[in-house]
Structure 1
Amino acid sequence: MPPLPHPVADPQQKGAGKAAFAMPGTLRKRADFLAAAKGRRQGMPGFLLQARARDDQGGARIGYTCSKKLGNAVLRNRAKRRLRALARDIMPGNAREGWDYVLVGRPEATVSRDFATMLAELAKALDKVHKT
């Protein structure tokens, strides 16, 4: 019996129908998170968005953080997964080149808030951060 094909093994099918935007890179260094914390902020009920324009014109980068105020490791990881999902849906079309963004989870709200509402909030927060 031949092996079953993997659902995305066909390169013609992979990513079909998706937008051709690149996902922003990821912030990994503490200094980058601290620099973003000194930049612009936009608070929303489900999260806090911190943003700053970098000196270089590289691609946009994004970081995620959730403190222990959010709860145990399970809740913090769930909140970060939701923040990553928000960024995956909104950032490719709205993030600007040469900017760093940090999404900070809020206790109780990030895990339990309606996802569609949070999508709209992130788009609104990005608009406000870029207007000032």
Structure 2
Amino acid sequence: MTPPEAGGKGRNATTAVLPAVSSLVTLQKRADFLRASQARRQGTGGFLLQARQREAEGVIRVGFTCSKKVGNAVLRNRAKRRLRALAREVLAFEGRPGWDYVLVGRPGATAERPFATMLADLRRALAQIHGDRP
């Protein structure tokens, strides 16, 4: 395996794509998750998106959760890894600063649904949450 600083070619080559926002901050406190659960929500086939606008502007904060209904620890961890990848690819570019987003995994869907479909679902859910009509 080629180290990232080597700048190799092929499968292990890394290309840095910087998001519009420098980074996503992860929600950690239960109170933040509860506030997001009482705000706007949009369901999709693979997950549930909950979003709320904070009073303070700034970074995009995102949280991930999967209950035991999703499956055993292996399936829950796989589902959360996929949700984190979605957030990095979509929320970093299309999320709005000053907003909290929570992605909730769904049983039998989050771990198995095609990733491209989940990307489209997240973009559609964000448009619904923010009132952007295509």
- Normalising by structure 1, we get a TM-score of 0.88
CA contact (8 A) 1:23 1:91 kept: no
Superimposed CA distance per residue, residues 11-65 of structure 1 (whole angstroms, 9 cap, x where no aligned partner) = 9xx9745134223211000000000001100000100000000010121100000
Superposed structure 1 runs of 4+ greater than 3 Å apart: 14-17
Rg larger in structure = 1
Among all aligned residue pairs of Structure 1 and Structure 2, give the percentage whose two residues are the same amino acid.
58
Superposed counterparts of 1:1-132, under 5 Å:
7-9=3-5, 16-21=15-20, 22-131=22-131
- Once residues 18 and 24 of structure 1 are traced to their aligned partners in structure 2, the CA distance between those partners, rounded to angstroms, is 15
- Normalising by structure 2, we get a TM-score of 0.87
Q: CA RMSD in A?
A: 2.0
- Once residues 102 and 82 of structure 1 are traced to their aligned partners in structure 2, the CA distance between those partners, rounded to angstroms, is 14
Superimposed CA distance per residue, residues 55-112 of structure 1 (whole angstroms, 9 cap, x where no aligned partner) = 1012110000000001111110000000001111111111101000000000000011
| Paired residue secondary structure (1:100) | strand
Give the number of aligned pairs: 126
Which consecutive residues of structure 1, in runs of 5 or more, have no partner in the other structure?
1-5
